[in-house]
């Protein structure tokens, strides 16, 4: 029998549609504090998005009157289909478009442009679109199994908004999109306990874009934690192969780099903080068309949903997303806003989990009110 004036720590009954989050096991007062913290963080993020510190390069004037990365990659693909080599095409297009070329990191590795150039049109777009559809199906099923049907359906809808550029002509060539989809599929493979498939997909993402390296290192460290030595060996072998691949890439870059190569102004360490992370969260087919404060709220919901994960299979998603959020709070220029495509599917899953998290927090908070009423009645 409950003593009047005291709140219970019993688990909140799971909603059959939303499932049960980790917040269902919190003490009521702790749940209320978490709910208050969420609203505070959301308010701060919205305030930043409305302040002079706001970063929003994607909707700036540059895209109206200057070559973009999409133009660059499509020009390289067209040149390779005409018989030119990748590095010769990249050297010319980078120079003519005014891109920095001094650092090897200014030069994308040949994938996926070389792959797309070898396929008949629209073979490349069909390939990445099929992978994106597979990601939507696999991720939504994994979410539905763990957090309910509604969360799974919402995840499917939100992930579609995150990967919709994969279906668009010209835009689908972006290496970041290919890396994002492959990371998402790797996370789904982990959720299904297909570890070697997850390793292969993660390494494929790394081959597409070097920023996928953080995900690969996290997965390798988790393999050590879980004593998955076969998986760890696969990661180590993959890292060794990638090191050789990147070394050969660097040799080619050195051979084709102009004598008077342009360098980036300033360091990659920009300390963009929350403003830059909000800009990254805005890289979504829906959010890019509406004011940035909505992206701030979206980011807050995503972080809440990811924090509510209690299933180990989904916890890997939360860890990966948080690692990238922390990294991007320190690293990245405003014009690197497109990096948000890399974490867009993971943020979408977080937002899909947020209704269940809010339900459990509110249910726990109501227990405090019920306890107070019980005290008043005595």
By three-state DSSP, how is residue 19 classified? strand
Which two three-digit tokens encode residue 196? Answer: 């070697």
Q: Which residues contact 200 (CB under 8 A, 6 or more apart)?
A: 234
Among 64-73, 101-110, 318-327, 336-345, which stretch is predicted with the lowest mean pLDDT? 64-73
pLDDT level of residue 263 (50, 70, 90 thresholds): confident
Residue 162: is its pLDDT beyond 60?
A: yes
Q: What is the pLDDT of residues 358-373, one digit of tens each?
A: 999 999 888 877 666 6
Question: Across all residues in the chain, what is the average pLDDT?
Answer: 90
pLDDT level of residue 265 (50, 70, 90 thresholds): confident
Does the global pTM surpass 0.85?
yes
Q: Please report the DSSP string for 213-256 in residue order.
A: HHHHHHHHHHHHHTT-HHHHHHHHHHHHHHHHHHHHHHHHHHHH
Check residue 58 and give its pLDDT. Answer: 56
pLDDT level of residue 43 (50, 70, 90 thresholds): very high
Mean pLDDT value across residues 161-190: 97
Q: Please report the DSSP string for 258-295 in residue order.
A: -TT----SS-SB---HHHHHHHHHT-STTGGGS-HHHH
């Amino acid at each position: 029998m409950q003593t009047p004036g005291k709140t219970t720590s019993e688990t909140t009954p799971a909603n059959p549609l939303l499932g049960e989050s980790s917040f269902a096991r919190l003490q009521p007062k702790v749940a209320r504090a978490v709910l208050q913290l969420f609203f505070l963080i959301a308010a701060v993020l919205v305030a930043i998005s409305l302040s002079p510190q706001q970063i929003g390069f994607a909707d700036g004037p540059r895209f109206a009157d200057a070559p973009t990365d999409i133009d660059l990659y499509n020009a390289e693909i067209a040149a390779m289909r005409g018989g030119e080599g990748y590095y010769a095409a990249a050297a010319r297009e980078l120079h003519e478009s005014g891109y920095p070329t001094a650092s090897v990191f200014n030069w994308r590795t040949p994938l996926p442009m070389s792959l797309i150039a070898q396929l008949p049109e629209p073979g490349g777009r069909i390939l990445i679109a099929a992978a994106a559809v597979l990601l939507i199906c696999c991720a939504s099923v994994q979410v539905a199994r763990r957090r309910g049907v509604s969360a799974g359906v919402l995840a499917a809808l939100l992930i579609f908004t995150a990967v919709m550029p994969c279906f668009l002509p010209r835009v689908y060539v972006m290496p970041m999109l290919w890396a994002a989809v492959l990371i998402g599929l790797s996370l789904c493979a982990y959720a299904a306990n297909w570890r070697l498939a997850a390793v292969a997909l993660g390494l494929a993402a790394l081959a597409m874009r070097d920023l996928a390296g953080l995900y690969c290192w996290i997965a390798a460290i988790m393999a050590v934690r879980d004593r998955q030595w076969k998986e760890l060996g696969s990661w180590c072998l993959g890292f060794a192969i990638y090191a050789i691949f990147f070394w050969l890439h660097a040799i080619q870059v050195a051979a084709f780099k102009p004598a008077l190569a342009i360098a980036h102004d300033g360091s990659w360490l920009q300390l963009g903080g929350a403003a830059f992370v909000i800009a990254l969260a805005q890289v979504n087919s829906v959010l890019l068309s509406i004011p940035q404060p909505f992206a701030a709220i979206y980011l807050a919901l995503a972080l809440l949903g990811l924090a509510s994960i209690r299933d180990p299979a989904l916890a890997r998603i939360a860890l990966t997303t948080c690692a990238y959020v922390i990294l991007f709070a320190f690293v990245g220029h405003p014009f690197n806003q497109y990096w948000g495509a890399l974490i867009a599917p993971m943020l979408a899953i977080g937002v899909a989990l947020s209704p269940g998290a809010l339900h459990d927090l509110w249910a726990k908070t109501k227990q405090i009110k019920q306890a107070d009423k019980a005290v008043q009645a005595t």
